[in-house]
Structure 1
Amino acid sequence: MVIGIIVSFALGMLLSGIWFGLVIALERISDKCKLYSISRVKSVIAAVIPTYIILKLNNHYFFNVKSVSDWKAWIEILGVAIITAFIVSKNEVETLPSGKELLWYGIDGIFMEIPQRLMMQSFVWCILKQFKIDNAIVFSIFINAMIWCSSIIIQNIIFKIKFEKSTVREIFSSFFFSVGAGYILIKTEFIIFTMIAHLVERIVSTRIRGKMHEK
């Protein structure tokens, strides 16, 4: 089991690096060609091919529309989103998005669920199944969270960002949200739950920061 966990984490980190590299490349293409619409959806474009392949291999698409009526799941996922928003709002930012930019900031959160949940969590689950690990889908939640938290640390090292309290909050909030969203995803098998949660988290955290700046 340990080997399967290590392998899935290592391959997940590799996939994360490839995805991040593609995101940076698309950002540069967008700036160079002045195709700013590409920049808006770069996280999805970079993930669409591997996500399609992974979902096809897993034969699991996480689009169980029937679970939309699960009101307990809605309460749980919105709770995760709001708690995460309060944690994230403690970190100061130079500028706060508003109006159309706030909407796009929220929509970007929706888009991020494709690489973070549909691509990566499904990928880890797929690898763990190859090692015939019991409760592989549950393990995939925590390994996926660890991958994205590790990616934050690596990105901070690359961009020479100091490790401060704000970094700890960012990592903790990422882990908390990823575990909560990952749990709801396997419970409902409906990606829309986590997409809406990511949208809510970004908008609520921005509103909280705005209120804090007013004081």
Structure 2
Amino acid sequence: MADIPNQNPQKHTLLADVQGFLFGTTMASFSLVLLTHLGMVTGQTAGLAVLLSYVTGYGFGPIFFVVNLPFYWLAIKRMGWVFTAKTFAAIAVMSLMTELLPDYVSFDAVNPVVGAVLVGMLSGMALLALFRHGASLGGVGILALYLQDKTGFRAGYTQLLFDVCVFAAAFFVIDVPLVLYSLLGAVVLNLNIAVNHRKDWYIAS
């Protein structure tokens, strides 16, 4: 039976926005802590920041915050001030939480396949929560939408090309099996977003 679009989606309340923001940033942070514990990588700017953290020895959080800085002016032009402010806040909170969480969470034995799937699921839930409440985790997605507006080049292709570069670079930084497990997690993440992110179901205030 075909999906019936919601003809009267409701705007979120302030309380709902705060809850969604905290849930999204917390789950995203936890998924990155698990990901880096497993020595894996992910796509987009988060993946670039993970690779740079492996190479340099600096923490993921500060690198992730800095890597996203060039994209904010694009976010203002493409998405407006409110979206950009929420995105900046989400990135700042996630950068901080990924530095703090390892002091409170530890892992013993995690099967890499199960871990990759869990990372993909957690990241997907986190991004969905942020998308539905008018925020994101910045980066390449914003650039992709900007280039699509300016040149007509599909945003999905830009994101795909960036991810190909990140995972290609990963082969020089981490072991091949870990790259393959990481790809599994990325597939789970993107399937989660593709199936569940529907603009006709929600309106982010």
Please, what TM-score do these two structures have when normalized by structure 2? 0.30
Between structures 1 and 2, the one with greater helix share: 1
